[in-house]
A and B are shown apart, each in its own frame.
Chain A
């Protein structure tokens, strides 16, 4: 018995030498007839640019519509010159990363799907940390009430955005519906957050974290749960 270590090549040879049984012909015929019976032309998914454009268009449209529905841009004006880029640059970066990830999730075997979603999560955590650092605690008499009003307003814009995203993504997201739902929910939540940052003049750090940033987290969670149920059933054979 040769006791020396096996080389990679020897291992390769041993694995390849293993024989697997052939596929029974009747099973192959069964599959062929099932597929042929349901054969009809399909239109391939549009290019990534079309989907990114659609998602960006919805996102921007929601922000513009909010300016018509809610008078003034009190939030934007209340932010200092330092606070504006600290809030809006990461917000746009996360939105871009999530949109890129979503478009990639539309088709199986696309590159950079998970890494972009993870990167977006990391930037969101960075945004939360930056908000905690540059905004200060301001005493409020009606903290719970004001937070609820803002949270509700954020959700009011995030939910229709999520529905529109769902329509855009309807034909894809066949492999990881839960991840796609969470990503789309997060992006819709970001639209709600952008609306709140434009319009809400409350600069209390706790208010921003509890009432504004939580819109993103809740929407991502809701998207995860909703997609796990609906999209999983849509694509499975059972």
Chain B
């Protein structure tokens, strides 16, 4: 990251290659749409590039990166909502980012978490899809570790309910 700030092209390329797949997972897991996730990844990468001077050497990189990524997601969501208020026509269905799970009876991750509140969805994605620690998630979301734990716990409780219902429904169908 420090070499990126010093305009080292090699280090920059390595950093982008390391971070982009993780960021893409962060967006794809929540959006469920490959094109949107790629657009948002591009937006986030450019935003990170613009504000790279705000990273202070010695601090953890991932919370800094995800704090920017979640801001990009919120900004895009607001922008899309404004656009959606003006546009109505949808002619083709977008390509799904997450293929239907093979070998499991689970819906795709984004569908699984779709009913969760945005904050719980985000915490769950950061913890389970991106593999961040509680402390890192707390920093990325500007909240406390306790609050992150509580959101994750509540998200799990709701998911458990959804999965029990889904399994019970399938059990009856069989």
Q: Give chain A's interface residues, CB within 8 Å of chain B.
A: 1-3, 5-6, 8, 11-12, 14-24, 27-28, 30-32, 34-36, 38-45, 47, 106-111, 113-114, 171-172, 174-176, 235-238
Q: Is the CB of A28 within 8 A of B17?
A: yes
Chain B contributes a number of interface residues (CB within 8 A of A) equal to: 67
Q: How far is the CA of A43 from the CA of B109 in the complex (A)?
A: 40
B45 → chain A closest CB, angstroms? 5
Q: Judging by beta carbons under 8 Å apart, are A15 and B109 in contact? A: yes
Name the B residues within 8 Å of A47 (CB-CB). 56
Which chain A residue lies CB-closest to B1?
Answer: A44
**Interfacial chain A residues near B52, Cβ < 8 Å:** 42
* A-chain residues with CB within 8 Å of residue B142 when the two chains form the complex: 109-110, 113-114
Q: Which residues of A contact B159 (CB under 8 A)?
A: 11
| A18 adjacent to B98 (CB under 8 Å) | yes
Name A31's closest neighbour in chain B (CB-CB).
Answer: B45
> Would you list which residues of chain B between 40 and 74 have a CB under 8 Å from chain A?
41-43, 45-47, 49-57, 59-60, 63-64, 66-68, 71
Q: Is the pair A35, B164 in contact by a Cβ cutoff of 8 Å?
A: no
Question: Is A36 a contact partner of B13 (Cβ separation < 8 A)?
Answer: yes
Q: Give the A-binding residues of B (Cβ under 8 A).
A: 5-7, 9, 12-13, 16-17, 20-21, 24-25, 28-29, 34, 38, 41-43, 45-47, 49-57, 59-60, 63-64, 66-68, 71, 75, 79, 97-99, 101, 104, 106, 108-109, 112, 124, 128-129, 139-140, 142-143, 156, 159-160, 163-164, 167-168, 170-171, 174
Chain A residues, Cβ within 8 Å of B57:
44
Residue of B nearest to A238 (CB): B79
Residue in B closest to A7 when the chains form the complex, CB atoms: B160
Least CB separation from B98: chain A residue? A20
Assess whether A31 is in contact with B20, with CB atoms less than 8 Å apart. yes
- Complex Cα gap A123–B63 (Å): 30
The total of interchain contacts (Cβ-Cβ below 8 angstroms) comes to 162
Contact assessment for A44 and B25 in the assembled complex, using a CB-CB cutoff below 8 Å: no
Chain B nearest CB, measured from A227 CB (Å): 14
Given known A14-B104, A17-B104, A20-B109, contact A42–B46 (CB-CB < 8 A): no
Cβ contacts under 8 Å, B164 to chain A: 3, 5-6
Instruction: Note all chain B residues with C-beta closer than 8 A to A14.
Output: 104, 106, 163
CB within 8 A of A31: which of B16, B25, B34, B60?
B16
Whether the pair A6, B140 counts as a contact (CB closer than 8 A) is no
Report the separation of the CA atoms of residues A2 and B62 in the bound assembly, to the nearest whole angstrom. Answer: 39
| 17 additional A-B residue pairs with CB within 8 Å, beyond A3-B167, A20-B97 | A3-B164, A15-B109, A17-B101, A18-B104, A18-B112, A28-B16, A28-B17, A30-B42, A36-B12, A45-B54, A45-B56, A47-B56, A107-B56, A109-B59, A171-B53, A175-B71, A237-B43
A174 with B51: CB separation less than 8 A:
yes
B9 touching A36 by the CB < 8 A rule?
Answer: yes
Measured between C-beta atoms, what is the minimum distance from A200 to chain B in Å? Answer: 38
Cβ B54 vs Cβ A107 within 8 A:
yes
Question: Do B16 and A32 touch (CB < 8 A)?
Answer: yes
Cβ-neighbour of A41 out of B6, B17, B139 (below 8 A): B6
Residues from chain A with Cβ under 8 Å of B46 in the complex: 34-35, 237
Query: 19 interchain pairs (CB within 8 A)?
Result: A6-B164, A11-B156, A18-B98, A18-B108, A20-B109, A21-B97, A23-B41, A36-B12, A39-B7, A42-B7, A44-B56, A45-B56, A107-B64, A108-B54, A108-B64, A109-B59, A109-B64, A175-B71, A237-B46
